[in-house]
Amino acid sequence: MILSGAEIVTRRLVGHLRQVTQQQQPCGVDLTLRQVSKWTSAATIDFDNTMRQAAKTSILPFDNTSNTITLQPGAYLVDFNETVQVPRNCMASVFPRSSLWRSGVGIAAGVVDAGYEGAMGALMEVKNPNGLVLYKNAKLAQIVFEEMGEMVEGYNGIYQSSMSSVGQDGKEA
């Protein structure tokens, strides 16, 4: 069963909302832009995380006067203002807002596991050959929660309680 936006807000599954009335949607809650980063190194990914090394990132600045950032075509890491607390009987998915894909921009994120608590981020791909201008706090994505048939042990990985989407070993450079 998919939880309504009202249920998500009532249960406080998403924290640090900028403005509830603007972010609560029928089927989820809108996620807003905190920062944009670019990758500055390669990453290493293996099967059991013994050799795992996150790619390093560098935060791109917003224009101080307009509070905007202009992005050329390419891939970026976006961090959202909001955090989540996913119950052990739920999972969540992140979807792009239609205004993004209509502008030639995609958002991709992994499954948000049951039991995960912490920061939210996503891969943003600007495909529009003319680029994209984003305002700080722009609504970029929507998080949707689904209830599972049973309670599970829950997520206990290295990203638990992260303060940013790069996790604990991909600190911003």
| Amino acid identity at 20 | V
Dihedral of the CA atoms 6, 27, 148, 48 (nearest 10)?
A: -110
**The pLDDT value given to residue 92:** 98
Q: Are 52 and 170 in contact (CB under 8 A)?
A: no
Query: What pTM was computed for the model?
Result: 0.92
Question: Residues of the chain whose pLDDT is less than 70?
Answer: 167-173
Q: Give bridge partners of residue 70 from the DSSP assignment.
A: 133
pLDDT digits (tens, 9 = 90+) for 18-64: 999 999 999 999 999 999 999 999 999 999 989 999 999 999 999 99
